[in-house]
Amino acid sequence: MNGLLVLDKPSGITSRDAVNRAQRWFPPKTKLGHTGTLDPLATGVLVVCVGSATRLAEYIQDLPKTYETTLRLGARSDTNDANGTIAHVPNAVPPPLELIRSALDAFIGEIEQVPPTYSAAKTSGKRAYVRARHGEEVALAPRFVRIDCIEILEYEYPELRLHIECGKGTYIRSIARDLGETLGCGAYVTVLRRTGIGPFTPEQAVPLDADVETARGRLLPVAAAVAHLPRVVLGQAEARRIRTGQSVVVPKETVLPEGEVAVFDRDDQLVGIGQQDANGLLRPEKILPE
């Protein structure tokens, strides 16, 4: 029971709830872990690592993500979404489309972003949302995130629908909050759907009410977690050395690229993740069970 499952998380439950429902499809004590939290309000792609694939969760977390979201202008929310306490902005002026386009341009690229107060970001060793719910003062430091694209799909005040492509750690709620402040009218998220994580899409998803046979039949191979990495194939002897934590000489015809590579044996089994060391040898960084 090793591999990846794509879920289409419904609104109203946490990502952990979705994983707990998936747990019933596998034997007791099978490790499961998701690769990127979705807010309870949000729906869409949630990739779950099963068994040995949990060792590769970080590689899926690093993949680019796509979202479709609807923002409500003219009001603010303490959680930056529709689940929070809503405060309408008095005398809010509907911003023209060109002003919105201009404001969104400032979000493209690598930017500093402050996570929402009600988020899983940690402050003083606690989750921010836990401290906020206890009435504590929460001050989160900005962090760098990457936003590749924001496209306006539809605008009819107060509703603004966007398509967003971004990197790891980007909060769509923070984009809504900051856009609303830039426009001077406030904004919060009413609808949020993650439409993709790298190559993983809702069309691959296993329904949460699926039976055991269906769910296990939709399990993707462990190697799908690192399909975006360069691939190196080793003979059985070299693969065994990698599995025991030893560096190996790669075949002469193999040129090792910079950075990490996915290491396979001749049977097309993923051995682990490796990287070239200072001596030109392939050094194991992460090893998977045989």
Angle at CA of residue 252, ends 246 and 253, nearest 5°: 120
- Report whether pLDDT(86) > 60: yes
- 88-116 residue pLDDT tens: 999 999 999 999 999 999 999 999 999 88
State mean pLDDT over 154-163. 98
d(Cα 102, Cα 194) in Å, to the nearest integer?
24
Other CB atoms within a 10 A radius of the CB of residue 257 amount to 12
Is 39 part of the annotated catalytic residue set?
yes
Give residue 72's pLDDT. 98
- 115-154 residue pLDDT tens: 888 666 666 666 666 666 656 667 678 999 999 999 999 9
Give residue 130's pLDDT. 63
d(Cα 177, Cα 207) in Å, to the nearest integer?
32
Cα–Cα distances in angstroms (integers) from residue 8 to residues 73, 167, 208, 209, in the given order = 27, 20, 8, 11
Give residue 141's pLDDT. 82
| Structural domains for the chain | 3-63+199-224 (3.30.2350.10), 65-197 (3.30.2350.10), 229-287 (2.30.130.10)
d(Cα 287, Cα 280) in Å, to the nearest integer?
19
Give residue 76's pLDDT. 97
Q: Which of 8, 17, 39, 211 is catalytic?
A: 39
What mean pLDDT value characterizes the chain? 93
